[in-house]
């Protein structure tokens, strides 16, 4: 279900404003992890990318110039990832982790280019 209400966004931002690292995974209201590559999950991916952007911007305001922000792509294997009846993951989690890495690096570069 969506969209996420303004109160939930405020609560997330409150946490992000105190965060010094990010564990990157995307969840829905029903699932602890979703498949990033499934088109019908795009709105969840977009939501988390927005939260990560907020987190990076907040961290950059608070962190010393020589600080390092850790972003961990946290896409777990079975039993953590959703699997089909055959026991195999429903998507290529390694490919999704690489996509996430590239998306976060591109986000970081865009924020950095803004100054």
pLDDT interval class at 2 (50, 70, 90): low
**Taking residues 63-82, what's their average pLDDT?**
88
What per-residue confidence (pLDDT) applies to 1?
Answer: 59
Other C-beta atoms lying within 10 Å of the C-beta of residue 22: 20
Contacts of 75 (CB under 8 A, 6+ apart): 25, 33, 36, 81, 93, 96, 97, 100
Q: Give pLDDT tens digits for 42-57.
A: 999 999 999 999 999 9
pTM: 0.91
Question: Bigger pLDDT: 62 or 77?
Answer: 62
* Whether the Cβ atoms of residue 28 and residue 34 lie closer than 8 Å to each other: yes
* Whether the Cβ atoms of residue 22 and residue 74 lie closer than 8 Å to each other: no
């Amino acid at each position: 279900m969506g969209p996420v209400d303004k109160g939930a966004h405020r609560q997330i931002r409150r946490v992000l404003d105190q965060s010094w690292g990010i564990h990157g995974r995307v969840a829905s209201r029903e699932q602890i992890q979703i498949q990033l590559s499934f088109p019908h999950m795009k709105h969840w991916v977009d939501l988390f990318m927005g939260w990560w952007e907020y987190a990076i911007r907040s961290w950059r305001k608070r962190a010393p110039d020589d600080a390092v922000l850790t972003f961990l792509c946290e896409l777990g294997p079975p039993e953590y990832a959703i699997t089909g009846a055959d026991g195999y993951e429903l998507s290529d989690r390694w490919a999704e982790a690489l996509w996430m890495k590239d998306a976060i690096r591109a986000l970081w570069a865009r924020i950095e280019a803004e100054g």
